[in-house]
Amino acid sequence: MPQSTYSPIDLTGASVLVTGGAGSFGSHFVRTILETSKPSRVVVFSRDEHKHYDMERRFQKHAKTLRYFIGDVRDVDRLKMAMRGIDYVVHAAALKHVPTAEYNPFECIKTNVIGAENVVQAAIDNGVKRVIALSTDKAANPINLYGASKLASDKIMVAANALSARVGTRFAVVRYGNVVGSTGSVIPLFRKMLAEGAKELPITDERMTRFWITLDQGVAFVLSCLRMMEGGEIFVPRIPSMRVVDLARAMAPGLPLRTIGIRPGEKLHEVLISEDDARSTVAFDDRYVIEPSFASWERRGHAAQGGRPTPENFRYASDTNDEWLEGGAIGRLLAQVSSL
């Protein structure tokens, strides 16, 4: 990912709430803002009491700043209570496992779609300044329920800017690819299998490609988008692609690979910006910004900040990306994950 030309938002003195705040991204985001600024209050909103307990132990020196709210984004009343006095919200809570969502569609919709609506209502009711929601590459041209639910969530967040009226709450979305080393991702899975003495590694398809971003990069990108947002944008970082087979070979040189086939709802390649979205997209050196298409949105700043229209029929996909992780770059990435 190219060096960002946009500095992170200064959260000193601000009150911040993170839904899914005890998860991989959420806890890393909390740690980062505690180390780089002095927020007056940080609310970790999550339904996982054990992860709350772990965070309390890890962040004991920040006990006066941190608040832990057990709650679910499905519960709008609990969200409204948690958001009282909050300036900024980062919405990271979601059901993310593709096969699980396919088998449990009602639960996926309740969390990812109704949950997004609840976040919007609670933020507007409490006069929150800015809300930024995390999305996924699977929301672009979705073929699985998880992607479709996140596309619906994205649409809710973009349209919410027209609902906040004089309250003035601004909403935006960050959409990126696989987070290296996050819970449920392939690197921890492969490492666990190797530690248990696996004689081969399973891959779904040798042609498969994915976008990759580190937790550090993801957090830094969200912080810069919080500063840059006008409301209604979908921010997409310029990040590298990697072939899953190259990752497996880097983690276990010489170990056989077994092709197991693509899982239900899984794509061969991922897309972050479709050809249709590209018509509303401007490009920067380190990111793309998909601008909202509804007529009430004023395109004031992004062109003036150096945003360039994308070419006709532009498509940002993992198999046609111009930046790749290969060879030594994969080894450095794996070393970085080990140090987290």
The pLDDT value recorded for residue 4 is 59
Per residue in 111-140, pLDDT (tens digit) is: 999 999 999 999 999 999 999 999 999 999
**Which tens digit of pLDDT belongs to each residue from 274-322?**
999 999 899 999 999 999 887 555 655 676 677 888 998 899 999 999 9
Domain ranges for the chain: 15-177+212-238+273-316
User: Residue 40: is its pLDDT beyond 90?
Assistant: yes
How many Å apart are CA 335 and CA 340, to the nearest integer? 9
Q: Which of 20-29, 160-169, 180-189 has the lowest mean pLDDT?
A: 180-189
What does the pLDDT read at residue 264?
A: 77
- pLDDT reading at 80 higher than 60: yes
Q: How do residues 323-336 score in pLDDT, each as one tens digit?
A: 999 878 888 877 77
Average the pLDDT over each of 31-35, 91-95, 260-264 and give the range with the smallest value: 260-264
DSSP run (H or E) holding 210: strand 209-213
Closest alpha carbon to 27 in 80, 123, 93:
93
pLDDT at 184: 64
Q: Average pLDDT in the 235-258 region?
A: 92
Q: How many CB atoms lie within 10 A of CB 1?
A: 19
Query: What is the band of 82 on the pLDDT scale with cuts at 50, 70, 90?
Result: very high
Q: Give the per-residue pLDDT at 199.
A: 92
What is the reported pLDDT for 293?
Answer: 80
Long-range contacts of 324-330 (CB under 8 A, 24+ apart): 324/240, 324/241, 324/242, 325/212, 325/240, 325/241, 325/242, 325/246, 326/242, 326/246, 329/240, 330/242, 330/246, 330/247, 330/250
Evaluate if residue 232 carries a pLDDT over 90. yes
pLDDT at 339 over 80: no
Please state, rounded to an integer, the average pLDDT across all residues of the chain.
91
Average pLDDT score over residue span 31-43: 96
Residues with catalytic roles = 138
pLDDT computed for residue 265 by the predictor: 78
Give the CA diameter of the chain: 62
Residue 7: the pLDDT is 83
Mean pLDDT of 77-90: 98
pLDDT at 178 over 90: no
**CB contact set of 90 (below 8 Å; sequence gap of 6+):** 16, 17, 18, 19, 26, 29, 131, 132, 133, 134, 222, 226
The average pLDDT across 249-277 equals 90
CA–CA dist 60, 65 (Å, integer): 10
Answer CATH for 15-177+212-238+273-316 from 3.30.2450.30, 3.40.50.720, 1.10.760.10, 3.40.50.1240: 3.40.50.720
SS3 at position 57:
helix
Mean pLDDT of the 9-28 span: 95
Q: What percent of the chain has pLDDT over 70?
A: 94
